[in-house]
Structure 1
Amino acid sequence: MGTPEAGRLGDVTRVLAGWQDDEVPVQLHPGDVGWFWRFGAERTARATRTWSRAGQLLAVGLLDGPDLLRLAFAPGTLRDGDLARQVAADASAPGRGALPAGQVYVEAPAEALVRDLLAEDGWRDGDLWTLLWRDLGAPVPDPGVHVEVIGPEQAHEWAEVVHASFEKSTFTGERWHAMAAGAPYADARCLLARDERGRAVAAVAVWSAGQGRLGLIEPMGVHRDHRGHGYGRAITFAAARALRDLGSSSVVVYTPSTNTGAVATYLSAGLRRVSERRDLYRAAP
């Protein structure tokens, strides 16, 4: 297991982008790393884990928060025994490997062998997540509200909406600029929806992994003062249209299954429920 230098993080995310495929289980996306980049390149590099063999990158993990490791694997390696054993060993070494000591979580693709190995080692089923997906081969309906792609001049407005959309959010304009400076943002867009009075009411970031690959929504939020008017559905339509314009084959989003409002919003915007899966957790000693 390794941790890339900040200057090499762009190389890691480009490889990760190449692993995204509509035919394989949804896994860590370069957009997830791009959204984390709001904390800066150095912190993002420290949160990234890599596993290689003979100089070839085979797995990438992101310590997304203090206790959750999210994983992605190179094509054809989901059931690679040697790789899975190494990732499982690193995840299970409290405070010395991929995760800190205490109760921690791992999110891995549904078919990954590492899930089986962690379960055999006493890891338990954790939180339930809903995966939603939409094919972008056909045109997407117009959102029906004014939506704009924002740049540095509107970063403070986008940040204000995101901050007002999520409880305990710490997002700021400065963090938008840090995120926009990251390598994954070259294939991303931030969108802002306005009501008929010109007020910023909803925000979304979309992340492309390249032509013909699935794109990601992360995050999507509606300002707490403007909920109940269909803005979440509208900005989700706008997100899908933006990803289609960027060449994405499909759009995916995953959200805690307990967030029934978000699930309902995505369903109303034409995404379909693909599956539910649980992360795994190791209880504190």
Structure 2
Amino acid sequence: MVCDHDMVISLEKPGTDGLDEAVDALREWQSEGVAWQLHPGDLGWFQRSGTEATAAAVRIWRRDGRILAIGLLDGADLLRLTTAPDVRHDEDLARRLTEDVIAPERGVLPSGKVSVEAPEDALIQDLLPGHGWRTDEPWTPLRRDLTEPVKAPDLRIETIGPDKGHVWAGVIRASFDGSTFTAGKWHAMTAGAPYTDARCLVGYDGQGEAVAAVAVWSAGPGKPGVLEPMGVHRDHRGHGYGRALTVAAAAALQELGSSSAGVNTPSSNVAAVATYESGGFQRLPEVRDLTRDA
């Protein structure tokens, strides 16, 4: 634990025992109309690397015992950061976050080129540029409202259980260049606390081939859910399977009680943005990471 006794706010690594507390806080913070940056599903997807690796990648900031902010080191050079909605403009928290992010010795981000994702309305967005940070490439958030019934797609969809984790893993591996996703990683992912509110879906073509896969993550009834990841097998693209699975994902989140379905994709990935829009998702204003070049 890193703690400056001259300050009220402390920074800590939660350990495996503290992961559930972080997930619970992230669930609590999700609501419609609040800028979303880190979702319980993000920790759930990271859980594919195992509980110990996930705990090692999480950072928690507290004041008087209350969790104010949570960060996920999504790789060595990217911190995905969010705060409780009511402290987005808390000056003490913003200063502490900035100090911890810019100083490699604090154990949040290393030296060299690194990036931070933070809510657009968080005060840290105003402070980091004063320390040499700049905006990076844009991302496009998309959202589908789930208050109206979602019509099932014309594609056979299966909810995957432990006996077919290898099928889901195989489609994801064939959907992303360089992916090393395995059945073992699927089992590690689904063993984590966030998967309590999640589902893995696979779409099959008319010949019974698994052609697309998606994971959906709820944050609880009445709260926004997310898709992470969604992929179409490289040998089965161009047939509308991505659109169909996107609709199926929205329907699954609706069954889980989610108020909306959300996804983020690089704006440069025009095909992905178009796929989500064809599945009833609406494009929201672009967001950008903050990056330090050295």
TM-score (norm 2): 0.95
Give the match's secondary structure for 2:239. coil
Q: Distance in 2 between matches of 1:121 and 1:97?
A: 18
Is 1:102–2:112 an aligned residue pair?
Answer: yes
Is 1:90–2:100 an aligned residue pair?
Answer: yes
Quote how far apart the aligned CAs of 1:95 are.
4.7
Q: Output one character per residue of 1:107-154: Cα deviation in whole Å (capped at 9) or x when no partner.
A: 001111001100111101112100000110001121110001000111
Give the match's secondary structure for 2:87. coil
Letter in 2 for 1:207: W
Quote how far apart the aligned CAs of 1:276 are.
0.3
Match of 1:77 among 87, 99, 102: 87
Quote how far apart the aligned CAs of 1:97 are.
3.0
Q: Output one character per residue of 1:74-130: Cα deviation in whole Å (capped at 9) or x when no partner.
A: 121111100011111111012533111210000001111001100111101112100
Give the match's secondary structure for 1:115. helix
Instruction: Give the equivalent residue in structure 2 for 1:144.
Output: 154
Structure 2 unaligned residues grouped into runs of 5+: 1-10
- Identify which range, 198-207 or 63-72, moves more after superposition: 63-72
Give the match's secondary structure for 1:105. strand
Q: Distance in 2 between matches of 1:72 and 1:210?
A: 18
Letter in 2 for 1:271: F
Letter in 2 for 1:22: E
Q: Distance in 1 between matches of 2:40 and 2:113?
A: 26
Letter in 2 for 1:79: H
Letter in 2 for 1:268: S
Quote how far apart the aligned CAs of 1:25 are.
0.7
Q: Distance in 1 between matches of 2:20 and 2:132?
A: 35
Letter in 2 for 1:118: L
Give the match's secondary structure for 1:79. coil
Letter in 1 for 2:165: A
Letter in 2 for 1:74: A
Q: Output one character per residue of 1:29-77: Cα deviation in whole Å (capped at 9) or x when no partner.
A: 0000000000000000000010000000000000011111001111211
Q: 1:118-133 to 2 correspondence within 5 Å?
A: 118-133=128-143
Q: 1:191-230 to 2 correspondence within 5 Å?
A: 191-230=201-240
User: RMSD in angstroms over aligned alpha carbons?
Assistant: 0.8
Give the match's secondary structure for 1:204. strand
Q: 1:41-56 to 2 correspondence within 5 Å?
A: 41-56=51-66
Structure 1 unaligned residues grouped into runs of 5+: none
Q: Distance in 1 between matches of 2:262 and 2:98?
A: 26
Is 1:178–2:188 an aligned residue pair?
Answer: yes
Give the match's secondary structure for 2:246. helix
TM-score (norm 1): 0.98
Q: Distance in 1 between matches of 2:220 and 2:283?
A: 23
Q: Distance in 1 between matches of 2:285 and 2:80?
A: 17
Percent identity of equivalent pairs: 58
Q: Distance in 2 between matches of 1:272 and 1:44?
A: 31
Is 1:261–2:282 an aligned residue pair?
Answer: no
Q: Distance in 2 between matches of 1:8 and 1:66?
A: 21
Letter in 2 for 1:77: V
Give the match's secondary structure for 1:275. coil
Q: Distance in 2 between matches of 1:104 and 1:127?
A: 13
